Structure 1
Amino acid sequence: MQRSILKEGVVAGLIGAAVVAVWFLLFDIWRGQPFLTPGLLGAAVFQGVTNPIGLRPTVGNVLGYTIIHGLAFIAFGVVAASLMAVSEREPTLFVAFVILFASFEVFVFGIVGALGKSMLGALVWWAILGGNLLASLAMLWYFFRAHRVLSRTLIGSWGSVFREGVVAGLLGAAAVALWFLAIDWIQGEPLRTPRLLGAAILRQPDPGAAIISYTVVHGIAFALFGIVGAALIAGAERQPLFVFALVIFFTAFEVFFVGGVLIAAKWVLDELAGWTIFVGNLLATGAMLAYFIRGHRALARRLTTAWAEDD
């Protein structure tokens, strides 16, 4: 059992590391500077560099960071594989697996924030977080492929989960978009919020491009968020403890978005007023939860009954 867990963890970690490496390579090639991201991260890790001006990627920094990056993912993969194996015997412990992946993203988020404003400008923070998110999805795919019985026990039909998640995500995205539109209309500047967020987060100087790109990314992000939420809801149908993981997930979502804006450009919160972003995401959360509850009324009744009995 220990050998299989170790092997599974190493493979999962290497998959995650490879996904991030390929993502960085494609992203750097797209902006005309191959190996820039691992080169800068290597310089930050090994040399403490905080100002990337004039810095060129070196073989040593690229290889050094790649090795550390791979070892970190392998260690994470082994821990995740251990939790996955335990969850097969006791499915309720899968919550710990979910928390581990959420903590992983938050950890990366914190590391990105600690790099400094100058380094973040050169690295593009959302590319780092996006790469790690893709790595997490790839690792989850591998784990669920290796533990199909557990995935069926926890979630059931992936098709219905995917469909429900996409619909919920689009509802959440629409709720935020309508809220921003209403606020901007009241202030006499229609589409001001997506324009500022697109300029800050996606670095789009052109107003039209900023609005369109932010709207697209915003919709995709909510759809992915909805799919994960739908998976947790499906798991809660079979293991009510997953409601706890769902609460953690929605809370992390709020922290992630506001934190992302802070990292990208703190001035945006001064321009927009932080409460409008918070309320917008809160409305989206309410819309998505209402949709989930409507489709899982039996679960809602069970939870309501359990809470009433506790009181």
Structure 2
Amino acid sequence: MGRGAVAGVVGAAALAMWFLLVDTAQGEPFRTPAMVGNALVGLEGVEARPGLILLFLALHFGAFILVGMAAAWAVSFLTRVPNLVFGLVLGFLMFDVVFFGSVAVTGVDVVAQLGWVEVLAGNILAGVAMMSFLQLSGAVKAVKWWEAYTANRVLREGVISGFASGFMVATWFLVVDTIQGRPFFTPSALGSVFFLGATDLNQVDVSLWITAAYTPIHYAVFIAIGTAAAALAHQAEEQPPLLIGALLLFVAFEAFFLGIIAVVAEFLLGPLAWWNIAIGNLVGVVVMAGYLWKAHPKLREVMAHDPIENPA
């Protein structure tokens, strides 16, 4: 567990440095530890009290040491670990813990106070730092991305179908935006929400740099969905009724996308129009499904002899 404890310290230090940079950039060094430290004892404001900052740091590093030990224990059962993927998962888990834990312990939504983008990015950074340390220390053997990509058919098909689908959706929105006389409005609007915290149309920054910053998020989401769809396609070769799951995946994706916009950027539902989003996503699904259908001749054979309505 020694390596896990050190990994926790590495993760805690990475997160602390991240927020020190964020706070300094905003002209308020130590704002984050001061705010959380005050919240822990029921005080409001961001006044930097050395004692409370030290209390926060002690709890911060202590919690991360426990997380690092738990992560080391979990990966000890695996022979090969994709450290970036596990780091991302760990970061998302810690984000959830911070969100629910802060409300439960202090009654203060720390995520809202600090900014959910900053908190999520910081926790992902900490998760990747911890997993990278465990890999470098020899606790686990890492999986090289190219090895995983070439050896894993599901991953390969997920990347290809997700990228193709994401490209077609991006093209659809570019065409619609251009026809409406506002090229790159859609990715800029979504990027402004993610990176600038835009809450109304006047705060949307339609620019190439916002579009470029949002693009990796766009493709990452579609690749994740493509991977899930590829996994369903593989399983459906043996169990055709699972294709119903693919349909449910599409419905869930539509609901999720519209729901996310409704929650974090309700003001965009009018300008983007729900039908525009629905058609764009439908185009993406058709491209993804078409690729997977072509890539799985066995699935076509199974469907010809064992259709969904007559499962074996």
TM-score by length of structure 1 reads 0.61
Structure 1 unpaired stretches of 5+: 1-5, 237-246
CA distance in 1, matches of 2:25, 2:149: 33
Instruction: Tell me, yes or no, if the aligned pair for 2:9 and 2:64 is still in contact at 8 Å.
Output: yes
Report whether the alignment pairs 1:148 with 2:132.
no
Question: Where does residue 235 of structure 2 map in the other structure?
Answer: none
CA deviation after TM superposition for structure 1 residue 277, in Å: 5.3
Cα distance change of structure 1 residues 271 and 105 upon mapping to structure 2, 3 Å threshold: farther
Report whether the alignment pairs 1:15 with 2:10.
yes
Cα distance change of structure 1 residues 185 and 226 upon mapping to structure 2, 3 Å threshold: closer
Question: Where does residue 241 of structure 1 map in the other structure?
Answer: none
CA distance in 1, matches of 2:30, 2:67: 24
Residue in structure 1 matching 2:212, options 193, 210, 216 = 216
Cα distance change of structure 1 residues 126 and 297 upon mapping to structure 2, 3 Å threshold: same
**3-state DSSP of counterpart to 1:202:** helix
Instruction: Tell me, yes or no, if the aligned pair for 1:167 and 1:226 is still in contact at 8 Å.
Output: no
More helix by share: 1
**3-state DSSP of counterpart to 2:41:** helix
Question: Where does residue 29 of structure 1 map in the other structure?
Answer: 24
TM-score by length of structure 2 reads 0.61
**3-state DSSP of counterpart to 2:207:** helix
Question: Where does residue 147 of structure 2 map in the other structure?
Answer: 157
Question: How many equivalent residue pairs?
Answer: 285
CA deviation after TM superposition for structure 1 residue 11, in Å: 1.9
CA distance in 1, matches of 2:87, 2:299: 21
Cα distance change of structure 1 residues 211 and 56 upon mapping to structure 2, 3 Å threshold: farther
CA distance in 2, matches of 1:8, 1:159: 29
CA deviation after TM superposition for structure 1 residue 37, in Å: 2.4
Report whether the alignment pairs 1:46 with 2:41.
yes
Question: Where does residue 244 of structure 1 map in the other structure?
Answer: none
Q: How does 1:106-117 map to 2 (within 5 A)?
A: 107-108=96-97, 110-111=99-100
Question: Where does residue 68 of structure 2 map in the other structure?
Answer: 77
Question: Where does residue 172 of structure 2 map in the other structure?
Answer: 179
Question: Where does residue 57 of structure 2 map in the other structure?
Answer: 66
Deviations 1:89-146 (A, max 9, x none): 9x9xx9xx799637605615844996878973x5222111111111222223233443
CA deviation after TM superposition for structure 1 residue 21, in Å: 1.1
Which segment drifts farther, 66-75 or 170-179? 170-179
Instruction: Tell me, yes or no, if the aligned pair for 1:169 and 1:219 is still in contact at 8 Å.
Output: no
Which segment drifts farther, 76-85 or 160-169? 160-169
Deviations 1:260-311 (A, max 9, x none): 65664443345545675577567667767877x699879999x99xx99x94
CA distance in 2, matches of 1:29, 1:299: 57
Task: Give 1:268's aligned amino acid.
Answer: L
Question: Where does residue 268 of structure 1 map in the other structure?
Answer: 268
Which segment drifts farther, 198-207 or 155-164? 155-164
Cα distance change of structure 1 residues 183 and 72 upon mapping to structure 2, 3 Å threshold: farther
